[in-house]
Amino acid sequence: MIKEAIILAGGLGTRLRSAVPDLPKCLAPVGGIPFLSYVIDYFKAAGIEKFIFALGYKSEAFDDFLRTKFPAKNYQLSIEQEPLGTGGAIKLACRKTTEETVLVLNGDTFFRIRLDLLSGFHRQKGAQCTLSLKPMQNFDRYGVVECHEDHTIKKFREKKFYEKGLINGGVYALEVAAILEAPLPEKFSFEKDFLEKPSPGRRLSGLVQDAYFIDIGIPEDYERAQREVKELVNDPNRS
């Protein structure tokens, strides 16, 4: 079972600034509390014991929140001194891990996956990274991920309108060595340069979980989150 998580919370949040101008987007209030609080609570209940927060933009804004959320101070910070991209942020945070396998997720997205299923599937497939895939219909905000019959990743398709397809839900089971030992620069995109760029021997798999999903990165979905607060606090064992 995966016990350690890296939460990416250093994004600039430019698309959400019209609705939340003064905060990092994952701290935007939903139902009166920071959105990130729901993400932490859910995955803590699901079995995560240690959190590493990958911060950058307005990292000082997290101080009070994290001290309140973790009174025992059982968390770590990984702070970018300059923007490193999603891949660089994950690579920097991986240097603080103690486990071989880590959960990686975005602080501005809630995907109510079954962590036990992801952990078991990832181990069974022997993958370096397992993507949590969400079935969607009639969308144009995301690209599509295609899988082979054995659940290995076949292809990533670009963003455009799709009537249906599987999207990358932004929750990953990741082998730490796959990032730290790969010939990757300090600054890179996890999605473009690690997941989508072919590399000999890199084993990627995809697990479909048709669970609740919301990404508050745009004002429309941030407002939707306000209406769907109950979905954010449901039991992690619920399907």
**CATH number (domain holding residue 131):** 3.90.550.10
- Residue 12: its pLDDT value, please? 60
Q: Could you tell me the pTM of the whole model?
A: 0.94
219 domain-assigned:
yes
Q: Are 184 and 129 in contact (CB under 8 A)?
A: no
Low-confidence ranges of the chain (pLDDT < 50): 239
Q: How many domains does the chain have?
A: 1
- Residue 86: its pLDDT value, please? 96
Cα–Cα dist 165/28, whole Å: 29
- Residue 93: its pLDDT value, please? 98
Cα–Cα dist 228/99, whole Å: 34
| Counts of helices then strands in the chain (DSSP H, E) | 7, 13
Q: Are 171 and 103 in contact (CB under 8 A)?
A: yes
Q: Are 234 and 112 in contact (CB under 8 A)?
A: yes
- Count of residues making up the chain: 239
78 domain-assigned:
yes
Q: Are 133 and 145 in contact (CB under 8 A)?
A: yes
* Residue 78 CB partners (closer than 8 Å, separation 6+): 6, 52, 53, 54, 55, 89, 92, 93, 95, 96
Cα–Cα dist 232/203, whole Å: 32
For residue 6, what is the enclosing H or E element?
A: strand 4-8
Domain that holds residue 55: 4-232
237 domain-assigned:
no
38 domain-assigned:
yes
- Residue 74: its pLDDT value, please? 85
72 domain-assigned:
yes
- Residue 16: its pLDDT value, please? 64
Nearest to 26, CA basis, from 62, 68, 72: 62
- Residue 89: its pLDDT value, please? 97
238 domain-assigned:
no
Vertex 199: Cα angle to 198 and 201 (nearest 5): 130
77 domain-assigned:
yes
- Residue 201: its pLDDT value, please? 86
- Residue 218: its pLDDT value, please? 86
203 domain-assigned:
yes
Nearest to 131, CA basis, from 190, 187, 43, 181: 190
CA 73 distance to own-chain centroid: 22
CA distances from 196 to 107, 139, 144 (A): 22, 21, 12
Cα–Cα dist 42/35, whole Å: 11
